[in-house]
């Protein structure tokens, strides 16, 4: 299926390549570089590129492009999912998926790629199996390997490789049995000038950390599971029971993994936890304008809003901005015309405000008065969809 894999940094340098079936020249990446030049942003590079003799399927993770070379038609999402598994494996092994960490552990990287793909087809992609095949790097193990000349490859075949539960290794024992579930939800919403919601949806995931002995069998139920759309499951989930009872029943992997991902569509009521009051105005035949923005939390939320960052794409006629902020710091890029206001944590007693004068080019026509405001924020210990209250039972 996959003939070759190229890792490319943001500078366009190929710093690692791996071939399985036959060696493919690096010149095939020229088609990718052409598409990259045409894209406005690095994340807008087409994930699938057709060439006269190959298909290039790629993902962008942590400032690295993972570009795979395919010679026959295959389901693109299958290849994209595998590339994400590769990036997740590097993250799990090295603590980060960066060019530096990959170069520092290049031997282990090639060993992992050799085990994850067999003759171009995915073989072992579960973290538990890979860690029995290839030992994760440690300082002590690196010193021993350099002295003895040994490698990180395991001596025995993983026990999970031959079972019908390949994601969990056998003989797991813990002194303290613990299970943690993190519900992470992201709101993607568009709000008009009057404060009404035009579009809103929630993208959510449940990340798990399981440290249980033996072969535990868990069940996880939701308060209102019918709100979930486009649910994607970890292979450990019993899909038939989910279809019939809407209950997550599974024998979990050992350690960290993503249990499910889901979406809550805009048909359901999505409560936006913050509000924005803004006044951006420009006068006719004037070289200046007014800018006034206030951000605050909804009164009925009861949680602290953290990590607030506002980004505004100002009109091209704007030269610079002289603003005063009651909280945080702001920057304005006169080239891209992007205003960024890093607010941080919002306290209801003193709402952050940013206001001042906008200087325009002389003689330029009156610009658009309604530039879009992009607000990013985080709220701990809050489920926006109000349906992720869960009950767990196990044996």
- The whole-angstrom separation of Cα 202 and Cα 207 is 16
- The whole-angstrom separation of Cα 120 and Cα 21 is 7
- The whole-angstrom separation of Cα 321 and Cα 332 is 7
The per-residue pLDDT string of the chain (395 residues; one tens digit each, 9 = 90 and over) reads 899 999 999 889 999 999 998 899 999 999 999 999 988 778 889 999 999 999 999 999 989 999 999 998 899 999 999 999 999 999 989 989 999 999 999 989 999 999 999 888 888 888 878 888 888 877 666 665 666 656 666 666 666 555 678 788 778 899 999 999 998 888 888 887 777 778 888 889 999 999 999 889 999 988 888 888 889 999 899 999 999 999 999 999 988 889 999 988 765 566 778 888 888 888 777 788 899 999 988 765 667 888 999 999 888 888 889 999 999 999 999 888 899 999 999 887 888 999 999 888 887 777 776 788 888 888 887 776 665 445 555 55
Strand partners, 19: 4
User: Which is nearest to 310 in space by CA: 274, 357, 271, 270?
Assistant: 274
- The whole-angstrom separation of Cα 368 and Cα 314 is 9
- The whole-angstrom separation of Cα 68 and Cα 22 is 13
Q: What token pair was written down for 144?
A: 């021993």
């Amino acid at each position: 299926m996959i003939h070759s894999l190229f890792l490319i940094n943001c500078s366009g340098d190929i710093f690692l390549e791996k071939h399985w079936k036959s060696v493919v020249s690096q010149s095939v990446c020229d088609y990718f570089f052409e598409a990259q030049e045409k894209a406005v942003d690095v994340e807008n590079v087409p994930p699938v590129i057709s060439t006269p003799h190959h298909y290039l399927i790629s993902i962008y993770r942590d400032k690295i492009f993972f570009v795979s070379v395919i010679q026959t038609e295959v389901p693109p999402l299958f290849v994209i999912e595998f590339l994400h598994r590769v990036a997740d494996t590097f993250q799990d092994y090295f603590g980060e998926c960066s060019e530096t960490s990959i170069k520092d552990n290049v031997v282990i990287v090639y060993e992992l790629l050799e085990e994850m793909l067999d003759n171009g087809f995915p073989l072992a992609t579960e973290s538990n199996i890979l860690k029995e095949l290839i030992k994760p790097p440690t300082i002590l193990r690196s010193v021993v390997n350099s002295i003895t000349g040994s490698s990180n490859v395991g001596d025995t075949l993983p026990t999970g490789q031959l079972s019908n539960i390949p994601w969990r290794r056998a003989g797991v024992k813990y002194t303290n049995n613990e299970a943690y579930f993190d519900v992470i939800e992201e709101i993607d919403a568009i709000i008009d000038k009057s404060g009404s919601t035009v579009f809103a949806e929630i993208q959510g995931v449940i990340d798990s950390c399981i440290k249980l002995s033996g072969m535990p069998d868990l069940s996880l139920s939701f308060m209102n599971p019918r709100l979930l759309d486009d649910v994607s499951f970890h292979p450990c989930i019993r899909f038939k029971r989910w279809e019939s009872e809407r209950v997550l029943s599974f024998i979990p992997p050992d350690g960290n993994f993503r249990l499910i991902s889901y979406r809550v569509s805009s048909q359901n009521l999505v409560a936006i936890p913050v509000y924005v009051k803004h006044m951006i105005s420009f006068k006719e035949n004037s070289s200046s304008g007014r800018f006034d923005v206030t951000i605050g939390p909804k009164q009925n939320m009861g949680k602290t809003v953290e990590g607030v960052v506002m980004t505004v794409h100002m009109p091209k006629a704007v030269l610079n901005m002289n603003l005063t902020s009651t909280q945080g710091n702001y920057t304005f890029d006169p080239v891209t015309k992007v205003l960024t206001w890093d607010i941080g944590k919002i306290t209801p007693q003193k709402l952050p405000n940013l206001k001042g004068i906008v200087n325009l080019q002389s003689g330029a026509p009156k610009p658009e008065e309604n530039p879009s405001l992009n607000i990013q924020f985080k709220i701990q210990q809050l489920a926006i969809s109000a349906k992720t209250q869960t009950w767990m039972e196990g044996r």
